[in-house]
Structure 1
Amino acid sequence: MEPLRTHQGLVCPLNRTNVDTDQIIPKQFLKRIERSGFGQFLFYHWRFDDNGNPRPDFPLNDGKYKDASILVAGENFGCGSSREHAPWAVQDYGFKVIIAPSYADIFKNNCVKNGILAIQASEEQVQTIMKKAESVEYRLTVNLEDQVVYDQEGFEIKFEIAPYPKEMLLNGWDEIGVTLTYEDKIKEYELAKN
């Protein structure tokens, strides 16, 4: 995984609440065993009609959000089943940061394990971002080290993140990467056992 320290990106608004993992990545696309290739199926039933044609009223089909890397959404994002494919699809599509008022715990934890920063902001802050992103090409800067999100017009959000997931994201570690930070101690233990 890539370290995430400071990220500046275009914001895509998803003005929906209770977005569950089956809406993020529908079950029929869960047959792959690798982590890549899921982005094309992100929000599939919202993005495409029954004939596979893009729905023009869905934000991800709007050209102005083509290169968005920050997703802003309504409360209870990632609810439903605990499929890890959901953050895989979000990340594979190109999003590095999600901002929402609340998340399902399992989804939020899966985001960290896959290198996505899920920021919790107030409903008012989220709506401010949503409105700006719906009206203009809107960019935010996310500084994980200082735990702040800001734009060039003076808007700013301070956010909370626990030390362990923060360290994982800052260093680009998944749980195997964290284990490997103890590689010297593991070798020392193995040599002592022989």
Structure 2
Amino acid sequence: MAGWSTHEGFAIALPRASVDTDQIIPARFMSASRAEGYGGFLFADLRDGAEEFPLDRHVDASVLVAGPNFGCGSSREAAVYALVDAGIRLVIAESFADIFAGNAVNNGLLPAAVEQADEILSIIGTGKVKASVDLQAGSLFIDGREYGFALPDMWRQKLVNGWDDIDLTRANLDEIRTFRAGRAKAAPWVFGPGGIKKSNSERPADENRGT
């Protein structure tokens, strides 16, 4: 996954509270291969029969502004896949479901919790406005107005570097090994009679053959 630190695009409004993951992508589409892309399934039931759905009016939008409690419901990661595959880089809402927010960051999508999300929804209306975000500076501009948003440092690292949880762990391997060695000296019984076992990454290449 490619990382990113700045983004400029158009923002559109979806003035709905508690948009759950089944609304983001209905369960019946989750049997499709991710390789085919999930973007075409995004908000399938909400768009079906709607005269003018925001994403249909403004197909070039990459920033979605919604009501509070976005991403509630099931923990399906496919909801994030659908948003990302449809070209959405940033979702703004007053609040997000915790599991959705974690899945979003692990897949390069920023869930920006903004207290003034209702104000932004009013500004956008049924149109689209320019939006920009700088992760390093922690700045967010919507239609020329600046808004604050919470961005934990761990989230910033993941988004900028294109990391998920495993990548973040690997970035701290030296500290992990140092802690493990100290723990082995202070409490050797924790590791059993054989002591510390080497991981595959610590073994010579010839020792890993056939494993």
TM-score bracket, shorter-length normalisation: 0.7 to 0.9
Structure 1 unaligned blocks of 5 or more: 50-54
Q: Give the corresponding residue for 1:129.
A: 120
1:136–1:25: structure 2 CA closer, same or farther, 3 Å change rule? Answer: closer
Report the structure number with the largest CA radius of gyration: 2
Cα distance between partner residues in 1 of 2:35 and 2:71:
18
Alignment of 1:62-77 (within 5 A): 62=57, 65-77=58-70
1:61 paired with 2:56, answer yes
TM-score by length of 2: 0.79
Deviations 1:11-35 (A, max 9, x none): 0100000100000000100102426
Higher relative contact order (CA 8 A, sep 6+): 1
Cα distance between partner residues in 2 of 1:188 and 1:141:
40
Q: Give the corresponding residue for 2:45.
A: 45
Cα distance between partner residues in 2 of 1:165 and 1:36:
28
Q: Give the corresponding residue for 2:189.
A: none
- Cα contact 1:35–1:85 (8 A) shared by 2: no
Cα distance between partner residues in 2 of 1:9 and 1:149:
12
Select which of 178, 183, 187 maps to 2:168. 178
Structure 2 unaligned blocks of 5 or more: 178-198
Q: Give the corresponding residue for 1:28.
A: 28
What SS does the aligned partner of 1:40 have?
A: helix
Alignment of 1:50-129 (within 5 A): 55-62=50-57, 65-122=58-115, 125-129=116-120
Q: Give the corresponding residue for 1:169.
A: 159
1:152–1:102: structure 2 CA closer, same or farther, 3 Å change rule? Answer: closer
Give the RMSD, CA atoms, in angstroms: 2.4
Displacement of 1:36? 4.9
TM-score by length of 1: 0.85
Deviations 1:28-75 (A, max 9, x none): 0010242651110101011113xxxxx22321221xx21000000000
Percent of matched pairs sharing the same residue: 38
Cα distance between partner residues in 1 of 2:120 and 2:169:
37
1:95–1:36: structure 2 CA closer, same or farther, 3 Å change rule? Answer: farther
Displacement of 1:90? 0.6
